[in-house]
């Protein structure tokens, strides 16, 4: 069990594709999915078996205690008594020293195990397909990654230590007990089958309860994570007390299960304790008979009784180990379910050409989200994005615009049709290469709790600071960054909380531009910007990205009217294509949406809110 000898697997370790999956010759460990579709072997233990055994002095202590008593009562020899006492003292000192070493070793071993277990789980989670995160709540995943892995490693560390120690200790105790009196030994072991049966029943029930407790804790964690992450919304509706009540109800569900655990443990202790008491009374009665009849000395009887107490403690500890391991199994099942899970969408492409023009073709694309299997989001969608051209997607909410972006980013598999990049399916490209040549700026960009420089260069191994500044200037972010106290070293806070919405969008824009991507996607990327900032970014798009393919999704007319091609989507279908002037001349959905915005019948942000005719009284939509 030399876990502490195995170096932690670095995050940059390459995946191993194919080969044997049994981990032969690699020690104890697990295979975990790699980001590119392969599987990576992550060691949990080395091949060298080392067990911190209990100090043998603990096994000899009762024996020499009996010798000391016989030296006083029977031999009445001070020398024999003193010798036995000295040996007992030496054994006690040695036992204490060895116990400390053993405890320290096991603490270190399983601290390393906890790190490795979390590493394996995290590697597996980040390799899953995007739809996996649509189906599983963030709070549930965080609970598995934190509380469940901690419970597994803690319970294993505690129980393996206790189990190894007591197993070896029981062996020595049994040998001494039979050497002192085989009759009393048989009496002792008559009660242990009952104890083992009680432990087995209790362990199975406790395992089921433990799984329910962990699931209830995960639900409570999800509620807390959801509330804290949306604290501004909670406060704006003055709903703090209600959220606290919801969380309390989740905790009460956990408490109800804890009460069941306590009741089960109480009955288990009653059953095993009563059995041990009967055994101890029987030993005392029969042992007294053996002493009176001269078949056993009083010192040996006392030594045997001490051994019986030690054996009882050991068996009780082993029983608690079983129940503890059942609790750990309940927590581990979900952890290893995620670790062993293979992504349903494997990014195994290998194309990585040195030159990419950036032409994108949607050919009869049909798409359905796995969470909504009966709703086709896109139906036979076809259009093209050309290098050096700006293409805009417009349409009502739910028409499939963002789904086109998700597909182009290869987040989800297609139901039908294909998406080509320079004539090759996007699934044929290497995962890292594809997301290096296609950059996305979304409406609600996510910044990490790092410096502005780290956020702009995110995902790139080495970026000169000059390139970071240049990208920030193109995104009209350099000015406000330099006004900050620490400039580009300023920490953005969790999810960019230290920056305004417009500032976050400009940093996200710089993060995309620093890559100089052949394909740039702007999904409502200027919605939080003022008119001046939007104008400057549009100038950057039309001036500095002339050789790039640009896809824009926007509500504002000013953002899309200068696009080289406008694609109008409605209910998952392409209903119109053309330039701004061509679409106005055609009439139809685009012309109606433009007319509403120009007449002020709908706010600019509702540019895609539908295409019903305005109310007769001309009132604005709320």
Residue 297 three-state SS: coil
| Location of structure tokens 């086109």 | 404
**In contact, 596 and 620? CB cutoff 8 Å:** no
One-character DSSP codes across 34-75: -TTS-EEEEEEE-S-----PPPTHHHHHHHHHHHHHHHHHTS
Would you give the distance in Å from CA 101 to the centre of its chain? 33
201-230: average pLDDT: 80
pLDDT-derived band at 44 (thresholds 50, 70, 90) equals very low
What share of residues in the chain are helix, strand, coil (percent, to 5)? 60, 10, 30
Give mean pLDDT, residues 122-126: 85
Contact between 518 and 357 under an 8 Å Cβ cutoff? The reply is yes
Residue 316 has pLDDT above 80, yes or no: no
The pLDDT value recorded for residue 4 is 39
Neighbours of 111 (CB within 10 A): 15
Can you tell me the mean pLDDT for 320-328?
A: 68
Structure-token match 């390459």, residue found: 14
Contacts of 136 (CB under 8 A, 6+ apart): none
pTM: 0.61
Q: Rounded to whole angstroms, what are the CA distances from 140 to 200, 575, 599?
A: 30, 41, 47
Longest dimension (CA), the chain: 121
Q: Tell me the sheet residues that pair with 392.
A: 552, 566
Structure confidence at residue 327 (pLDDT): 65
SS3 319: helix
Query: What distances in angstroms separate CA 200 from CA 166, 269, 330, 473, one per listed residue?
Result: 18, 13, 15, 69
Q: For a pLDDT cut of 70, what percent of the chain falls above it? A: 79
Residue 602: pLDDT band (50, 70, 90) is: very low
Side-chain-side CA neighbours of residue 500 (13 Å): 10
The band of 610, judged by pLDDT with boundaries at 50, 70 and 90, is: very low
Say how far apart CA 619 and CA 600 lie, in whole Å.
Answer: 10
- Only one residue has tokens 């502005």, namely 452
Residue with tokens 């089960």: 264
pLDDT recorded at residue 31: 47
Given pLDDT bands bounded at 50, 70 and 90, which one contains residue 543? low
Mean per-residue pLDDT over the chain, rounded: 76
Q: Which bin fits 406, alpha (ψ -120 to 50), beta or left (φ > 0)?
A: alpha
Q: What is the mean pLDDT of residues 189-214?
A: 79
pLDDT for residue 383: 92
Residue 63 above 80 pLDDT?
Answer: no
Does residue 2 carry a pLDDT above 50?
Answer: no
- 228-232, 266-270, 380-384: range with lowest mean pLDDT: 228-232
- Which stretch of 54-68, 282-296, 586-600 has the lowest confidence by average pLDDT? 54-68
Distance CA 419, CA 409 (A): 10
Here the tokens at position 147 are: 């509380």
Residue of higher predicted confidence among 320 and 123? 123
Report the pLDDT value the prediction gives residue 115, as an integer from 0 to 100: 84
Helices (H), 452-552: 452-456, 465-474, 478-483, 501-513, 531-544
- Take residue 257 and report the two structure tokens written for it: 């299960």
Contact between 338 and 123 under an 8 Å Cβ cutoff? The reply is no
Report d(CA 102, CA 114) in Å as an integer: 18
Contact 182, 302 (CB under 8 A): no
d(CA 114, CA 123): 14
pLDDT of 615 over the 60 cut: no
- Band of the pLDDT at 537, cuts 50, 70, 90? low
User: What sign does the CA torsion over 407, 408, 413, 419 have?
Assistant: positive
Q: Judging by beta carbons within 10 Å of its beta carbon (0-12, 13-18, 19+), is residue 18 exposed, middle or buried? A: exposed
Q: Which element (helix H / strand E) includes 313?
A: helix 298-340
Domains 3-340 and 360-606 share a fold: no
User: What topology is assigned to 360-606 in CATH?
Assistant: Rossmann fold (3.40.50)
The confidence score (pLDDT) of residue 11 equals 38
Position 382 scores a pLDDT of: 92
Torsion of CA 521, 527, 531, 533, to 10 degrees: -50
pLDDT at 488 over 80: yes
Question: In this predicted structure, what is the pLDDT of residue 420?
Answer: 92
The fold adopted by the segment(s) 3-340 is ABC transporter transmembrane region fold (1.20.1560)
State how far the Cα of 563 lies from the Cα of 182, in Å rounded to an integer.
96
Collapsing DSSP to helix, strand or coil, 272 comes out as helix
Q: Cβ(283)–Cβ(305) under 8 Å?
A: yes
Mean predicted confidence (pLDDT) in 123-132: 83
CB under 8 Å to 537, separation ≥6 — which residues?
475, 476, 506, 509, 525, 526, 529
Closest CA to 493 of 386, 484, 373, 463: 484
Residues 6+ apart with CB under 8 A from 484: 452, 490
- What pLDDT is stored for residue 597 in this prediction? 67
Measured between alpha carbons, how far is 113 from 133 in angstroms, rounded to an integer?
A: 26
- What are the structure tokens assigned to 35, written together? 């980001």
Summarize pLDDT for 369-393 with one digit per residue, the tens: 887 888 888 999 999 999 988 899 9
Residue 520's beta-bridge partner residues? 439, 550
Residue 20: its pLDDT value, please? 37
Q: What is the residue extent of each domain of the chain?
A: 3-340, 360-606
- What one-character-per-residue DSSP string does 163-230 give? HHHHHHHHHHHHHHHHHH-HHHHHHHHTSHHHHHHHHHHHHHHHHHHHHHHHHHHHHHHHHHHHHHHT
d(CA 465, CA 475): 15
Is pLDDT larger for residue 272 or for residue 359? 359
The whole-angstrom separation of Cα 472 and Cα 482 is: 11
Q: Which residues contact 358 (CB under 8 A, 6 or more apart)?
A: 385, 387, 421, 422, 437, 518, 519, 548, 549
pLDDT over 50 (residue 250): yes
The answer to whether the beta carbons of residues 591 and 397 sit under 8 Å apart is: no
């Amino acid at each position: 069990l030399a876990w502490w000898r195995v170096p932690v697997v670095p995050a940059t370790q390459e995946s191993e594709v194919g080969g044997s999956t049994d981990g032969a010759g690699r020690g104890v460990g697990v295979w975990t999915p790699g980001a590119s579709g392969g599987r990576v072997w992550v060691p949990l233990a080395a091949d060298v078996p080392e067990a911190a055994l209990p100090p043998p002095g603990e096994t000899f202590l009762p024996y020499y205690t009996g010798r000391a008593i016989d030296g006083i009562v029977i031999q009445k020899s001070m020398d024999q008594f003193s010798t036995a006492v000295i040996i007992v003292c030496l054994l006690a000192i040695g036992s204490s020293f060895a116990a400390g070493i053993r405890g320290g070793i096991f603490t270190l071993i399983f601290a390393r195990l906890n790190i490795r277990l979390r590493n394996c789980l995290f590697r597996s989670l980040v390799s899953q397909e995007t739809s996996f995160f649509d189906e599983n709540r963030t709070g549930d995943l965080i609970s598995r990654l934190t509380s469940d892995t901690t419970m597994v490693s803690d319970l294993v560390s505690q129980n393996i230590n206790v189990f190894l120690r007591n197993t070896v200790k029981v062996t020595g105790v049994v040998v001494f007990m039979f050497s002192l009196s085989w009759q009393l030994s048989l009496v002792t072991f008559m009660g242990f089958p009952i104890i083992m049966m009680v432990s087995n029943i209790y362990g199975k029930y406790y395992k089921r309860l433990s799984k329910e407790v962990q699931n209830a804790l995960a639900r409570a964690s999800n509620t807390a994570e959801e509330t804290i992450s949306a604290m501004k919304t909670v406060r704006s509706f003055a709903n703090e007390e209600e959220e606290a009540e919801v969380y309390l109800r989740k905790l009460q569900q956990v408490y109800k299960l804890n009460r069941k655990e306590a009741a089960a443990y109480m009955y288990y202790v009653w059953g095993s304790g009563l059995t041990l008491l009967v055994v101890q009374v029987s030993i005392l009665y029969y042992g007294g008979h053996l002493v009176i009849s001269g078949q056993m000395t009083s010192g040996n009887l006392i030594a045997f009784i001490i051994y019986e107490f030690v054996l009882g403690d050991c068996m009780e500890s082993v029983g608690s180990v079983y129940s503890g391991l059942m609790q750990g199994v309940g927590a581990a099942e979900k952890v290893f379910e995620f670790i062993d899970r293979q992504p349903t969408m494997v990014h195994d492409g290998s194309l990585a050409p040195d030159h990419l023009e950036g032409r994108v073709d949607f050919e009869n694309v049909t798409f359905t989200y796995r969470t909504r299997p009966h709703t086709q989001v896109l139906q036979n969608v076809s259009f093209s994005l050309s290098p050096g051209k700006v293409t805009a997607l417009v349409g009502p909410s739910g028409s499939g615009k963002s789904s086109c972006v998700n597909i182009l980013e290869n987040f989800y598999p297609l139901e039908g049709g294909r998406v080509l990049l320079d004539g090759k399916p996007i699934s044929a490209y290497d995962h890292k290469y594809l997301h290096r040549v296609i950059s996305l700026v979304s409406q609600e960009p996510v910044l990490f709790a790092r410096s502005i420089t780290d956020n702009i260069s995110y995902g790139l191994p080495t970026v000169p600071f000059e390139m970071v500044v240049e990208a920030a200037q193109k995104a009209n972010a350099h000015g406000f960054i330099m006004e900050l106290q620490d400039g580009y070293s300023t920490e953005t806070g969790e999810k960019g909380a230290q920056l305004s919405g417009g500032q976050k969008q400009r940093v996200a824009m710089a993060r995309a531009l620093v890559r100089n991507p052949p394909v740039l996607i702007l999904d409502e990327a200027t919605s939080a910007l003022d008119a001046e900032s939007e104008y400057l970014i549009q100038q950057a798009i039309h001036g500095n990205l002339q050789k790039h393919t640009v896809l824009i999704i926007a509500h504002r007319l000013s953002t899309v009217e200068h696009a080289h091609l406008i694609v109008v989507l409605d209910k998952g279908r392409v209903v119109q294509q053309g330039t701004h002037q061509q679409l106005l001349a055609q009439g139809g959905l685009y012309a109606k949406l433009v007319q509403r915005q120009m007449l002020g019948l709908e706010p600019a942000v509702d540019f895609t809110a539908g295409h019903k005719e305005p109310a007769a009284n001309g009132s604005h939509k709320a």
